[in-house]
Amino acid sequence: MYIFNTTFVCDDSRMEEFLMWINAEFISKLVASGIANEPQLAHVVPVKDSDDDEAASFSLQVKIDNVDLLEKWMREEFYPSIAILSKRFGDKVLYFPTILEVLPINSFN
């Protein structure tokens, strides 16, 4: 099992629009393929005394069963959706993706 995480950093001036767009269009399109499932959107809570007052960060995670499906999903769904995001928000919303492989908790005993 893999978790595909994308962290978005959103300028406060576009935050409301970004959250509406990511929920209404981006997430639904990404999971419509049936490859990615269990979407979860979270606000990244800033560390106390952080000096970044003009941007908010959000983490979008989806679960994908295997690496072949993950690569297919990224190529067919994720990157086209990111192109739309970049065109719509420009440098007001930045992102970085991370692929996490889920390990059994007891695998290190």
| pLDDT tens, position by position, 19-78 | 999 999 888 888 888 888 899 999 998 877 666 566 899 999 999 888 888 888 889 888
Q: Compute the Cα dihedral for 82, 44, 22, 76 and give only its sign.
A: positive
* Amino acid at site 47: V
pLDDT computed for residue 72 by the predictor: 87
pLDDT computed for residue 52 by the predictor: 57
Residues 6+ apart with CB under 8 A from 7: 44, 57, 58, 59, 60, 95, 96, 98
> What confidence tier does 9 reach under pLDDT thresholds 50, 70, 90?
very high
pLDDT computed for residue 109 by the predictor: 60
Query: pTM score, two decimals?
Result: 0.85
Residues 6+ apart with CB under 8 A from 101: 1, 2
Q: Taking 60 as the threshold, does the pLDDT of residue 4 lie above it?
A: yes
> What confidence tier does 94 reach under pLDDT thresholds 50, 70, 90?
very high
Mean pLDDT calculated for residue range 73-91: 92
pLDDT computed for residue 42 by the predictor: 97
